[in-house]
Structures are given as structure tokens and as C-alpha cells.
């Protein structure tokens, strides 16, 4: 009887997993050594997911950190396991600021587990996790949860817009900074701290001014209201939009 119940659970859980392609959870990251580069994993509900390989700051994927929990937001990808985990695609990992020394798992290399080939570096300023550009005058910068750090890609995009502003002799750059929230797969909702949108706006503004854009040409809007999270599009709500106006 219990075997039947167990089978039923597996079928139900499996079906639920099949339908729920988006995953969002907070966990301790795991690093696995390999013969080549380490790869990063995360466990959720007894399953192991592959997040990405160790890389450099020019890569799209920035690995998480031991000694810190991480918010993982991604889409379950089809295909075989990678580095021992189910691969997540368009995965965003946000390292939590506070220390958790329980997050300390380094798995040793195994003969049968290899890290995949790392994806080619995207052109600087054109990494999908960090930036979306809609023509030379409009860009959206994305941020990790509760973080105002501008990656190499986002910072370079700001520089590109400053150059466009100067070359096109534009009159204004509109900056709109947002904070977001994330609906976890377990139903919990995480909301970014209230002042993070202002911090993001200030960072971008300082760079533009430092690159020679007159502060009088900057129109800054800080949006502290939070869009209702859906567990699908949440990483794209933590953003700053930039628009160069003639």
C-alpha cells in the first residue's frame, strides 16, 4: 500500500515538476570540482540543478558564493544532466549579503562528471542576464536581488549610452530605477529593500556624470512601488531603464 502511495507521489511530483518550468528558490550553493573548471549546483526539494560554470567577469553567468545563501531563479531546461544536475537556463543567481557558514559544500571531482564547455563570452554590454538594449538610445540594466552592483556588462552599457548622448547631441537622459520582488516556488515572496531603487539610480547617475553628461540633463525617477511577482518574470523587475531623448 505504501509502495502505491509512493508511486503516486512520484507521479504527481514529477508531473508538477514537468509543468512548473520556472523555478525560484533560496538555498546554499554547491561547487563541484571537475577535471577542468568547477561548476556550480544548487539543491531544491531533493533534486540537484546545474547553474553554470566558473567564469570571468565578461561572462553572462556570475557564480554564487559559498558562505552565502543564494536566490536561484531559472527555467528548467530539457536534455541530459550537466555536471550532475538538471540544467537551468536563463538562470539568475543573487548572492545574499549576510554570511551563512553552513553554505560550505565543495564536492570533489568524479571521473564520470565533467563540466560542460563554457558558453562563449557575449559581447561586452550585451549579456542577456544583465542588459537589454532596444536601439542605441534605450537600454535596460538588470540587477541581482537587493544589489546595486553594476556588472561589466551593465557599466559598459551606461558608458555606451553616455557616448550616444554626446555624439547625438541629445538633450536628456531619463533614468527610471525600480526595485522588485520574487515569488519563490514554495509560494513565499521576497521583496527588495526599500532604498535599493534609489541606490541603483544614484550609481547610474554618478557614472553618467563622471563620463561627462551634465547633471542637468539627467531626469531621474525612483520607483519604490513593487510589481506583483509571478515567479516567472521577477528577475527582470530589478532594473534601471535608460532612455536618451533628442
Partner 1 sequence: MKKLGGIVSSLLCLAGLGGLVTPAQVSQPQFQWFQAGSGVELSRELTFANASGRLGILNADGPVNTKGHPFFEPLGVNGRACVTCHQPSNAMSLAVDTIRERWRATNGKDPLFAGIDGSDNPSLPQDLETSHSLLLNRGLFRVGLPWPPAQNSTPEFTLEVVGDPTGVNRDPVWGLKSAKPTVSVFRRPRPAANLKYVLAPDNGPFNVKLGVLLDKDPATGKPVSMNMMADARATTLATQAESAYRDHQEGKGQLRSDQVDRIIAFESQVYAAQVFDNGAKDLVEAGGPGGLGPLNLLREAAGVLNTPAKPVFLTFDAWKASTEFRRSVARGNELFLNRTFWVKDVAHINSIGLGNPAKRACAVCHNAVMSGMDRAPGWVDLGTTNYPTWTEPKTWNEAGELPVFKLSCRADARPHPYLGRVIYTSDPGRALVTGKCADIGAITMGQFRGLAARAPYFANGSARNLRELVDYYDRRFDMRLTTQEKEDLINFLGVL
Residues that bind partner 1 (CB under 8 A): 31, 33, 37-38, 40, 54-57, 62-68, 97-99, 106, 149-152, 154-156, 159, 203, 206-207, 210-211
Q: Alpha-carbon distance 173 to 31, whole Å? A: 42
> Is the Cβ of residue 78 or residue 98 nearer to partner 1 in the bound state?
98
| Residue tagged 543567481 (cell numbers) | 93
CB of 65 to partner 1, least distance (A): 4
User: Smallest distance, Å, CB 61 to partner 1?
Assistant: 9
* Cβ distance to partner 1 smaller for residue 32 or 183: 32
Is the Cβ–Cβ distance between 49 and 35 less than 8 Å?
A: no
CB 105 within 8 A of CB 30: yes
In whole angstroms, the minimum distance from the beta carbon of 144 to partner 1 comes to: 10
CA distance 40 to 129: 17
Kindly tell me which of 152 and 223 has the beta carbon lying closer to partner 1: 152
CB 243 within 8 A of CB 172: no
Question: To the nearest whole angstrom, how small is the minimum distance from the Cβ of residue 155 to partner 1?
Answer: 5
Distance (Å, whole) CA 70 – CA 60: 17
Three cell numbers written together for 229: 511577482
Count of alpha carbons within 13 angstroms of residue 229, beta-carbon side: 22
Q: How far is Cα 152 from Cα 147, in angstroms, rounded to an integer?
A: 15
Q: What is the end-to-end Cα distance of the chain in Å, rounded?
A: 72
Distance CA 11, CA 31 (A): 30
State the nearest-atom distance from the C-beta of 47 to partner 1, in Å. 22
CA angle 91, 93, 97 (to 5 degrees): 170
Instruction: In angstroms, give the least distance from the CB of 18 to partner 1.
Output: 31
Determine contact, residues 179/190, Cβ cutoff 8 Å: no
Q: Which three cell numbers stand for residue 117?
A: 564547455
Closer by beta carbon to partner 1, 131 or else 229: 131
Smallest distance from the beta carbon of 128 to partner 1, in angstroms? 16
Closer residue to partner 1, CB minimum distance, 106 or 189: 106
Amino acid at each position: 500500500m505504501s509502495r502505491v502511495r509512493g508511486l503516486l507521489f512520484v507521479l504527481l511530483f514529477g508531473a508538477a515538476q514537468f509543468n512548473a518550468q520556472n523555478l525560484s528558490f533560496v538555498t546554499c550553493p554547491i561547487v563541484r570540482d571537475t577535471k577542468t573548471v568547477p561548476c556550480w549546483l544548487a539543491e531544491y526539494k531533493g533534486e540537484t540543478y546545474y547553474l553554470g560554470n566558473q567564469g570571468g567577469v565578461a561572462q553572462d553567468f556570475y557564480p554564487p558564493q559559498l558562505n552565502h545563501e543564494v536566490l536561484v531563479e531559472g527555467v528548467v531546461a530539457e536534455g541530459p544532466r550537466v555536471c550532475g544536475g538538471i540544467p537551468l537556463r536563463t538562470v539568475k543567481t543573487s548572492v545574499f549579503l549576510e554570511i551563512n557558514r553552513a553554505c560550505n559544500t565543495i564536492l570533489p571531482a568524479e571521473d564520470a562528471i565533467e563540466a560542460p564547455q563554457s558558453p562563449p563570452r557575449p559581447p561586452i554590454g550585451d549579456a542577456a542576464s544583465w542588459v537589454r538594449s532596444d536601439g542605441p538610445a534605450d537600454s535596460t540594466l538588470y540587477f541581482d536581488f537587493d544589489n546595486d552592483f553594476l556588472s561589466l556588462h551593465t557599466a559598459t552599457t551606461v558608458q555606451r549610452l553616455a557616448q550616444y548622448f554626446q555624439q547625438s547631441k541629445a538633450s536628456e537622459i531619463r533614468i527610471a530605477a525600480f526595485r522588485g520582488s520574487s515569488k519563490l516556488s514554495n509560494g513565499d515572496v521576497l521583496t527588495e529593500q526599500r532604498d535599493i531603487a534609489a541606490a541603483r539610480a544614484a550609481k547610474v547617475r554618478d557614472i553618467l556624470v563622471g563620463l561627462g553628461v551634465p547633471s542637468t540633463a539627467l531626469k531621474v525617477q525612483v520607483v519604490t512601488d513593487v510589481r506583483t511577482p509571478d515567479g516567472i518574470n521577477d528577475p527582470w523587475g530589478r532594473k534601471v531603464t535608460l532612455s536618451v531623448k533628442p
